[in-house]
Amino acid sequence: RTCEEEWGTLMFFCDYQGPSSDGFGGAERLAIFGDLGGRCGAELKVMAAIETKLPGYYTTNLGETHSWDEWGTDTVPLQSDQLS
């Protein structure tokens, strides 16, 4: 609930798929409600938590992208020496 309080959102899991046939990787959708800024912040915080637990989940084969959409996300790959 800390993420919800921080970003002023309401989040809940829905559409649970269960573990795959190999017993790994159960999939579940996360619904995030709130204003656009809150939804974006909460989404990035959740993605960072997943990336911490499963390194490479979002960042493997991630290149530089630019989006002009209101909901779009730009990505800029950083080298390990650029991180603190």
Tokens found for residue 81: 């020496």
- In contact, 50 and 58? CB cutoff 8 Å: yes
Measured distance CA(45)–CA(32) in Å, rounded: 12
∠ CA(16), CA(21), CA(26), 5° rounding?
30
> Higher model confidence: residue 58 or residue 1?
58
**What are the tokens at 21?**
């046939």
pLDDT of res. 8: 94
* H helices present in 1-84, as ranges: 2-7, 36-53
Of 83 and 55, more confident? 55
What pLDDT score was predicted for residue 22? 63
pTM over 0.95: no
Per-residue pLDDT tens digits for 7-66: 999 999 887 676 666 656 667 889 999 999 999 999 999 998 988 988 888 888 888 888
